[in-house]
Structure 1
Amino acid sequence: MYLSTAAAHPAASIEQQVFRIISKRKAIRASRVRKTASLARDLRFDTVDVVDIILELERSFHIVIPDEVPLYTVGDFVRFVREHAAA
């Protein structure tokens, strides 16, 4: 399992880590994950997959992602983590 704190990594690295966490959920190559990809439509993730991704992001970046935050695309996850991870 790849765990790291955001404080030690620049924004580009945050994006790479988010891509890696998302891609590992369904064994998709991280290089094939795009910020515009919809988790449900493009990547075929179900609710359990999304919850697992959220939990992993929370652990990795020491953040809390509230249930009401709209997260539909890979870019939504990257944006949220960048905005909320410790600088």
Structure 2
Amino acid sequence: MITTDKAIEQEVIRIISRTKKVKPSRLQSDVSLEQKLGFDTLDVVDIILALEKNFHIVIPDEVPINTVGDFVTYVADHTETVAA
């Protein structure tokens, strides 16, 4: 199985969508979580916890995450690619 950035992006969007009950079509890479979607700090923490559990990574508090793309980039950069 090969984990690609596109697969990671789809999984991140699925997790955010499920966690905060937002349609996946609204979760574009450049969408601001707070300004466009109205997420507060607790919402972002919920998403971080779900992503950490799903991808077996740690997202430190000091990582600047403001958009859906920020989550995707961080997860893609910190998830090991599994080669076939």
Shorter-chain TM-score above 0.5: yes
Q: 2:61 corresponds to which residue?
A: 67
Root-mean-square deviation over aligned CA pairs: 1.3
Q: Given the alignment, which residue of 4, 12, 33 partners 1:10?
A: 4
In the alignment, the residues of structure 2 paired with residue 33 and residue 48 of structure 1 have an alpha-carbon distance, to the nearest angstrom, of: 18
Structure 1 residue runs of 5 or longer lacking an equivalent are: 1-6
Matches within 5 A, 1:1-87: 9-87=3-81
* Shift, 1:32, TM fit: 2.2
**Structure 2 unmatched runs, 5+:** none
Worse overlay, 65-74 or 8-17? 8-17
Tell me how far apart the structure 2 counterparts of residues 26 and 83 of structure 1 sit (CA, whole Å). 24
Shift, 1:10, TM fit: 1.9
What TM-score, normalized to structure 1? 0.86
Q: After TM superposition, where is structure 1 displaced by more than 3 Å over at least 4 residues in a row?
A: none
Number of residue pairs the alignment of both structures matches = 81
- State the alpha-carbon separation in 1 of the partners of residues 50 and 12 from structure 2: 9
Max Rg structure: 2
- TM normalised by structure 2 equals 0.89
- Percentage of pairs with the same residue: 54
Q: Determine the C-alpha separation between the residues in 1 that align with 2:38 and 2:67.
A: 12
